[in-house]
Structure 1
Amino acid sequence: MQFNHGSTRARFSALTLSLTLSVQLPLPSLAWAEEAASTTIGEDSAAVALPAVTVTARRGEEKAKDVPFGLAVIDGDSIETGRMQTVDEALRNVTGVSVNSSGGPNDYNVRIRGVGSLYQMNMDDNSVVLNVDGVSMSSRNLSLGTLDVDQVEVLKGPQGTLFGRSSEAGAINITTRKPGRVMEGYVRGEIGQQMQNLEEGAIGGPVSDTLAARIAVRRTGADYWVNNAEDGKPLTQMTNLAVRGSLLWDRGTGTDALLTAEGERGTGGVNNMMLRPYGDHPALNITPGTFDENRKSNSRTSLEVNHDLSASRLTSVTAATTTNFIGWKAYDRDLTKAMFGFPMEMLVRDSAFEQAYSQELRLTSLPGAKVFWVSGLNVSHSNRSFDSAYVSQGARHAKRRFSSDSAGLFGEMTYPLTDALKITGGLRHSWDWKSYDADYVTAAGDHSTDQRGVYANYMTGRAGLSYAVTAATNLYGTVSRGYKSSGFNDYASQIADGVPYKAATVQSYEVGFKSEPARQPYTLNGALFLTRVKNDHMMSYNSTTFVTSVLNADTESKGAELEGTWRFDNGLALSGGVTYTLAQITSDASGVSGGDVAAGNRVPDVARWSGNLALSYIKDLPDFLGLPDPAINARISYRVSDSRPADVQNHFNLAPYGKLDLHLGLMVASAEIYAWADNLLNDRYDLYGYGDSSYPGVTYGNLARGRTLGLGTSYKF
């Protein structure tokens, strides 16, 4: 694939300029809603009022504008219409968020506002915590499908008060749809190029006077978007099956209980390492069927119980999760020839299993209370394994076992000092215990073992002030402290690599504003931010021996973001955002296998400028052909990114790109038939990139899927 740098930069500059000028209108937020508004402003108004956005960013219900830090919200209708079929696809549409992935189901590194692990050390090394219905999971699970999702909230900046060790950069809250007191549901199906298909449905409603149930199922499939050079066929066929069932018991007396069980299994994901430049017909030169065993499965069982007291709500969340993963990664013949001068296959088989349990008890203020507050206790335990078989190096392998225990006491309050001025304070004290037990076997059959442990207790929190300039607009300033605990390298292959990496500490400063007028057609949010990280995590990888070691480096990220929405009364809605981020490494790191890292290098995969713009249009049509209530449902979205460094050494930059997606549908009563286009401009941008000073001029990476078209239909009842 040959990148057209000039045209892409032109598109980027045009969008940035249009966003900047539109903000003067003003321009709006990512938390748009596509349903019709119920309130009209005046007889001749050109716009309709937007409903207030309610979030649970601080474990209790409150309006988004009252939360004293930056956040973005994507509702379920936007996820469906925008074909954001996985969590990582949804995150890529959020201003200020970057996702680095090689294309596999277990390989995600998220950065928010330029903050996040330089390279993740293991499945437990989270800079961003992922919460599904209040249950924490590793951000390595961003391949999860967005099955029957009600809302996705992205909390920006350290969230150590409520989410603990795994939230130095922020948190992702996913809320799924709950059973209701009215029978309702939907079915949806899609077909498209490259064997893309989707079948999904959900139904929920009352079972008795006090019990309601909901079940949702989704199956998807597609050819992998890179071919095998030997047979010209896709590397694998990807499939995914997800099921969720929930029961809600509610007597209507202030006490309810929600039991949820879900499972998901995906096959065919590839941790792809492909020689750059990719050429016009990207392909991996490797034995067909190499990745046929690749698979990943997740399960979650949780019980949430709520009980309303006279002035507070008591909540208990009990959960068990499992993750099972098998993945082959490979250097193909083209890459090894470029590196070593002769073609060969270098293969590694990784397998991982994790079982985790958690319990949280919290007491919160009731929705709408004058004083917002939350306090609680969280405990968790996990056992995990990560084994590697170095197939191309004889019988060499590593078997690793990890255990992790954590406990935290937390509390946060927003208290009104005057009618307009509020103060926020929150603290969390956490305790972590981690252990590591490994067995290494060399190609000659020699065994060695390694056992280690770490313990830490630490304090995190935030303090802030907010001022209501008007009833609709708040100014805020927040100082936050985050922490990412130390641990052990998933990829250690000898005792020397088992040394624990250091804990990272985070100090963040943010000032901003949020405006959500109750009877106006727009919302507008903006923020300035500065975050300094001490000892962030970096993995040094030797591409010749597959040996990894751990390093730490300091970083600093600063910038600004602006996002908003605007809805017109003719069915047109506009949403978008733009962000500027300067993220730099601020300390030297010597001894890195790919080359020394110098202070002043930019943090990898973080663009200085990025933005998104979405335009949706829902309009009733005159009756024709006897169709009941016909209407147009259209959405066009454009995501753009400036160039960004590929790796910590800044060997080279990944090209800027723009991704344009389209949905065009005809709604008839409760049904819709639509056409969709994904990556309409066919800009096959890099998902990641890597270089190594030992092999000058040799770089590798993976690229995104190109343009595909398809058809879909849905019916809601």
Structure 2
Amino acid sequence: MHTAFFRHLHNATSLSCALFTLVLLLPAVGQAQDGKARRPGANDDTVLERVTVSATGSGSAGHTPFSAKTMEERRLKTVEDVLNATPGIAINSWGGNHLSTTYVRGVGGMYPMNMDDSLLSFSVNGSSMNARYLRLGTLDLDSIDVLKGPQGTQSSASASAGLVSMTPRLPSQEFDGYIGSELGTGRQHTVEGAIGGGLTEDLSGRFAMRYSGENHWIDRLADGEPISKPSDFAVRGSLLWDIDDATSALLTLERQDSRAWPTLLVLRPYPDQPVLDLPAGFYNDVRQTIDRAALKLSHDFPTSRITSTSSFYHAKSNEALVYDKALMAALYHSPSLYWRQEKPDEHVFDQDLRWSSLEGERLEWALGLFAEHADRSYDSCSFGRYCTAFRDFDTDRYGLYGNTVLPLTDRLKLDAGLRYERSRTRFDATYHGSAGISTDSRELTEDALTGKLGLTYALTPDLEIHARVARGFKPGGFNVYSTQIAEGSPFRGATTDSVEAGFDAEFAAGLFSLSGAAYLNRVEDNHLLSYDSKTFLVSALNADTRAKGVDLSAGWHPGNGFDLTAGLSYVDADIRSSIFGIGDGDVLTGNKVPDAASWSATASLSYTRDLEPMLGMTEPQLITRIDYRYVGKRPADPQNHFDLDGYHKLDARIALAEGKTEFYLRGENLLDEKYDLYAYDAPASGVRYGAMVRGRAVMAGVTRKF
């Protein structure tokens, strides 16, 4: 790995140990050290986060959990796959690692302006991470929880639109693991496995690895071969040291390497077999690597826990943003190839120190402080040779947070939290142009006080109602795509105000479950990227948005191997500011927020049945699953030039299992709908372009657990 990776890991370890030792010496809590406590681990963190969701009033309609089993059966290999399986969440994706925008209940920046511009946040086992990396894999995760609405009073991860909380499987003294392999159409192939167990009486470890590859579904015009052969490699190693009954240390090292994933700009309308007019091997050098290290120290007192989480990650990309000959001919009547090489690079160190109640305590509470330092750069080179723009960002972020869930009566609970955050970004850029070299140096400092206040009331033991108000904040910054000083002007931070009311209910002793929430989100100074397809100029702007809607989720659990779950989301999201004379057209008040479909829905039906002995199996079991997703039509851009069509996606899986071995067949996108990942309109030339998903695919695989 990069030398800086280990240097920052050493710094993270030293700082974490110093903070952890200081807290343990606090006289206010030191007297409690002789109590017997439970060893901290991933399950404890997950429980705390899920309790938070319930207590905030989001309820299960605002919280979508994905277990390891669900992710395996549904083949959700990336965070993007998980988000696409969640009603009320929309993603504008250009197909590769380069550009993406995520909207949660209609809240999200309208195209990213820099490398950390997302109103959605990620948390990996308690440490925050850039939500730009939607291709982040789900390798050996215990669970993923998707939380909708402003978050940030429970950890260092600040989320104005929502939070994706990832919990990896942690080492234990029990020996276990798995290995699996899969082959499919389009030469899709995956091999993965994990193994873990006790190394000594006090030390346990776990190691996991996944490799996957495929032929891209878009071909080259010249020879009909795939434009690239993308691949992903991920590896994670972790060590858990049980220092004593109350204290533990967890060290995690991981790496993800994604190669040859193309950013797609394909002329619309698409032919039956989409093609790009590109030379062979064009995407061979496209690559993104993420190296991450984390040290988590925990100590339990009889009723509380101190946790210090230090993390560092280095992410580096080499991207190709290309206008092929067909698109250039349509846009500029010049059938030549134009492309830029984009080189984002970031080093981020995050420290979170948290003191919280243990699971099961009547009074739930958490207090914490955090600090983050990030060094980022973004360079652009035309045709991969003429580098004309060099932009450097240096960001410091720090603050404190607190949250409590207070039982007011046996039926009524109050959930309240506050967060104070201050950030400072220093921006330095150098531009090379026909008039010579120009430089730009600026600084932006912002702070914000955010939080939430919620009430939950149990009408009956099986029916709760809730209401909450919450505020989130996303700091502003500088335009990463700037090519001249005027474009480098800072954009302001975005403030999200959210109001929500809903219910959670179970009927017939758990046979049926039903949850719902109605919400209103207002975003002041939302982030809007303006792009001019004729001049290639990019501007960073602010515009207010508003979203209102309803989330519903339901389940039927009759037993006998049957299980049915469904989710429905309605979102009405519009822009509340008019901006004239920008990019490819004016943005008017009343325009709909792009990519946010009014209606989306999911449904999953699973059935498990024991079979008679067959094929040498003494106790075979049939496991089947059908997953359906619907997304309605949605605007393609902030100007609302046109709408993208709605679509239906149907997946199915059938498996034959005995003991810990399972053979399966899986079909994806069985309706063969080649719907849009995104689309864009260039009104000056009457040209539209975008990207589409892979069509129907079939896979066969085997897994073995031990």
TM beyond 0.5: yes
Residues in 2 aligned to 1:644 and 1:573: alpha-carbon distance in whole angstroms: 31
Residues in 1 aligned to 2:615 and 2:322: alpha-carbon distance in whole angstroms: 56
SS of the residue 2:230 aligns to: strand
Shift of 1:65: 4.1
The correspondence for 1:290, drawn from 282, 285, 310, is 282
SS of the residue 1:302 aligns to: strand
Shift of 1:622: 1.4
Q: Deviations over 1:436-472 (max 9, x none)?
A: 1111111x47111111111112101011111011223
CA spacing shift, 1:343–1:60, aligned 2, 3 Å: closer
Residue in structure 1 matched with residue 16 of structure 2 by the alignment = none
SS of the residue 1:502 aligns to: coil
CA spacing shift, 1:67–1:632, aligned 2, 3 Å: farther
The answer to whether the aligner puts 1:431 opposite 2:422 as a matched pair is yes
Residue in structure 1 matched with residue 695 of structure 2 by the alignment = 706
SS of the residue 1:89 aligns to: helix
The answer to whether the aligner puts 1:380 opposite 2:372 as a matched pair is yes
CA spacing shift, 1:60–1:549, aligned 2, 3 Å: closer
Shift of 1:310: 2.4
The correspondence for 2:704, drawn from 704, 712, 715, is 715
Contact 1:259 1:301 in 2 (8 A): yes
SS of the residue 1:80 aligns to: helix
The answer to whether the aligner puts 1:232 opposite 2:224 as a matched pair is yes
Shift of 1:619: 1.2
The answer to whether the aligner puts 1:421 opposite 2:412 as a matched pair is yes
Residue in structure 2 matched with residue 46 of structure 1 by the alignment = none
SS of the residue 1:194 aligns to: helix
Residue in structure 2 matched with residue 193 of structure 1 by the alignment = 185
Contact 2:155 2:354 in 1 (8 A): no
The answer to whether the aligner puts 1:658 opposite 2:648 as a matched pair is yes
SS of the residue 2:186 aligns to: coil
Shift of 1:521: 3.0
Give matches, 1:341-490, under 5 Å: 341-391=333-383, 395=386, 397-442=388-433, 444=434, 446-490=436-480
Q: Deviations over 1:613-662 (max 9, x none)?
A: 11111111112243132001111101111100000011111011011111
Shift of 1:541: 1.2
Residue in structure 2 matched with residue 73 of structure 1 by the alignment = 65
Residue in structure 1 matched with residue 19 of structure 2 by the alignment = none
Give matches, 1:578-589, under 5 Å: 578-589=568-579
Contact 1:65 1:514 in 2 (8 A): no
Residue in structure 2 matched with residue 340 of structure 1 by the alignment = 332
The correspondence for 2:309, drawn from 289, 296, 317, is 317
Contact 2:123 2:157 in 1 (8 A): no
Contact 1:65 1:515 in 2 (8 A): no
SS of the residue 2:559 aligns to: coil
Give matches, 1:665-680, under 5 Å: 665-680=655-670
- Compare relative contact order (CA 8 Å, sep 6+) and give the higher one, 1 or 2: 1
Residue in structure 2 matched with residue 158 of structure 1 by the alignment = 150
Give matches, 1:92-171, under 5 Å: 92-162=84-154, 166-171=158-163
SS of the residue 1:247 aligns to: strand
Contact 1:162 1:411 in 2 (8 A): yes
Aligned residue type for 2:430: D
Q: Deviations over 1:555-585 (max 9, x none)?
A: 0000001012222221011111001000001
Aligned residue type for 2:699: G
SS of the residue 2:694 aligns to: coil
CA spacing shift, 1:396–1:356, aligned 2, 3 Å: closer
The answer to whether the aligner puts 1:217 opposite 2:209 as a matched pair is yes
Aligned residue type for 2:377: S
Contact 1:65 1:516 in 2 (8 A): no
Contact 2:45 2:126 in 1 (8 A): no
Residue in structure 1 matched with residue 298 of structure 2 by the alignment = 306
Aligned residue type for 1:712: G
Q: Identity rate of aligned residues, in percent?
A: 39
Aligned residues: 662
Contact 2:122 2:157 in 1 (8 A): no
Residues in 2 aligned to 1:109 and 1:709: alpha-carbon distance in whole angstroms: 29
Contact 1:65 1:474 in 2 (8 A): no
Shift of 1:287: 2.1
Q: Deviations over 1:4-28 (max 9, x none)?
A: xxxxxxxxxxxxxxxxxxxxxxxxx
Residues in 2 aligned to 1:662 and 1:466: alpha-carbon distance in whole angstroms: 38
Aligned residue type for 1:479: V
Residue in structure 2 matched with residue 504 of structure 1 by the alignment = 494
Residues in 2 aligned to 1:294 and 1:219: alpha-carbon distance in whole angstroms: 17
Shift of 1:607: 0.6
Residues in 1 aligned to 2:376 and 2:430: alpha-carbon distance in whole angstroms: 14
Residues in 2 aligned to 1:354 and 1:470: alpha-carbon distance in whole angstroms: 51
Contact 1:593 1:692 in 2 (8 A): no
Residues in 2 aligned to 1:64 and 1:382: alpha-carbon distance in whole angstroms: 29
SS of the residue 1:337 aligns to: helix
Q: TM-score, with normalisation over the residues of structure 1?
A: 0.90
| Backbone CA RMSD of aligned residues | 1.8
Shift of 1:398: 0.3
Shift of 1:78: 0.5
SS of the residue 1:397 aligns to: strand
The answer to whether the aligner puts 1:241 opposite 2:233 as a matched pair is yes
Residues in 1 aligned to 2:290 and 2:356: alpha-carbon distance in whole angstroms: 30
Shift of 1:163: 5.3
Contact 1:127 1:167 in 2 (8 A): yes
